[in-house]
Amino acid sequence: MTDIAIKRALLSVSDKSGLAQLGASLAAQGVELVSTGGTAKALRDAGLTVRDISEITDFPEMMDGRVKTLHPMVHGGLLAVRDNAEHVAAMEAHGIGAIDLVVVNLYPFAATVAKGAERDEIIENIDIGGPSMVRSAAKNHAFVTIVTDPADYATLTTEMEAGNGATTLAFRRKMAAKAYAATAEYDAMIASWFAFADQGEMFPEKLSVPFRKGQALRYGENPHQSAALYLPAFAPGGSLADHRQVQGKELSYNNLNDADAALELVAEFRDGPPTVVIVKHANPCGVASGDDLVSAYKAALQGDSVSAFGGIIAVNRPLDGPTAEAISDIFTEVVCAPDADDAAKAVFAKKKNLRLILTGDLPNPARGGMGLRTIAGGALFQSRDNGRITRDDLKVVTKRAPSDQELTDCLFAWTVAKHVKSNAIVYAKDGSTAGIGAGQMNRRDSARIAGAKAIEAAQTYGWSEPRTKGSSVASDAFFPFADGLLAAVEAGASAVIQPGGSMRDDEVVAAADEAGLAMVFTGMRHFRH
């Protein structure tokens, strides 16, 4: 038997949206409604006839509603195999009535945590009876229909209308799969809260990480790969989890990966002056701060206009019309901003393929959290790189101390280098990147590549000299040899910021002194692989 007529439904929901309409539809098809507490009241308030669960169990709801559905009269009606003679006999012997439909959604645990509730309130919002009913109904989906999402109410109604009050096995199987995913996510959220928030564990023995599908993507890193965006239960504000795509083609895996890289970097300047980040293949190719976004964008673009073609742009202010006009001069894949004014939206509306993403805010760069990367046969977890350096943390190690402007540029370059793939070298001058070298197998080559980019930019824009002349240079990790530093000297850098800690620090410092450079150590590195 595949089609099962629904004669009795048990409804117990935390989210009351769509409940009255569903109850009315079920009642119109002659379904007996059984319910609990607030759900029963909501149905009665809608003018529907409802039986209390206590009438079925012959036992009152008690302990502030903690005990109401955990009863053989309920679970026997859910778990009985209807074509098993022994099960049918047991139902008859104990007066257990069949329950054909269960509509349940669970206590709002995640919302309770998100609002900053006290521990006792969080514990009270751990649902027990709901998941038990969901699992029982889903297990017995051959005979029982389980619905856990209000978004499926209309589909259930249509299914029953088409089947003269019955549901098909295919529908019940689909709803059962969705139900188990819902309880798995719910349990994972609770386990995660206990481990990370309540117990303060960074790496618990068993790790449950609940993710929910946000959207399907155009494709993965390459068109022959498929991809989807999944979001955690407790996503940070201002992140791509909150994004709203205003216009443009569907997003691909690469679009979101690059957009995240741009957003994380521009967030470092959330409290700073107007700043623009241009990213290509997850590496920044131009970063600049200015008096306004349009001047910052032009300075960032001049850092590497070749790489900027087809790039991703992120800004730390609401996007305005003049900046949108400037961006529109070259091909850009995605623009991320906290918001955008009507003038900016109108400019981009002419660029049908350009994706405009609004996040409402920027993520907190100092937030905690975990990073995940899969490897063959497993996964690597680590805490986020939220290390931060201030002027007070810096140690001058050369004979010459950096000037105030050199120090400002050092910290700017250091902030950018944190977001560049290792080995990372970043030259900066007057709040703009002058050259970026990324992802090389040795630090010397990164320094040379960044210098070459600066020379090319000077030739492109007709400058008398590259912006690396008199710049500050940041290295994401220590210089293992003096050759990388000497490449920076050749590029014209006058100040250096690096972690220090090499066996050859003395050799590197001596080379800096000989060249008249100022150098500071941070004591912290920022590898990014």
| Residues involved in catalysis | 139, 281
58: tokens are 């012959």
Assess contact for 70 and 114: CB atoms under 8 A: no
Would you tell me how many other CB atoms lie within 10 Å of the CB of residue 244? Answer: 10
Instruction: With H, G, I as helix, E, B as strand and everything else as coil, classify residue 294.
Output: helix
State how far the alpha carbon of 108 is from the alpha carbons of 46, 53, 105, 175, 226, in Å.
Answer: 23, 22, 9, 20, 33
The tokens 């006999």 sit on which residue?
A: 89
Distance CA 51, CA 35 (A): 6
State how far the alpha carbon of 189 is from the alpha carbons of 111, 112, 136, 238, in Å.
Answer: 11, 12, 21, 21
Assess contact for 423 and 404: CB atoms under 8 A: no
Helix (H), strand (E), coil (C) string for 91-146:
HHHHCCCCCCEEEEECCCHHHHHHCCCCHHHHHHCCCCHHHHHHHHHHHCCCCCEE
Q: Which residues contact 523 (CB under 8 A, 6 or more apart)?
A: 393, 395, 499, 500, 501
Distance CA 504, CA 510 (A): 10
Distance CA 323, CA 292 (A): 9
How, if at all, do strands 101-105 and 8-13 pair?
parallel
Distance CA 138, CA 180 (A): 7
The tokens 């370059």 sit on which residue?
A: 413
Distance CA 21, CA 18 (A): 5
Instruction: With H, G, I as helix, E, B as strand and everything else as coil, classify residue 455.
Output: helix
188: tokens are 């994972």
507: tokens are 């050799």
The tokens 């009507």 sit on which residue?
A: 342
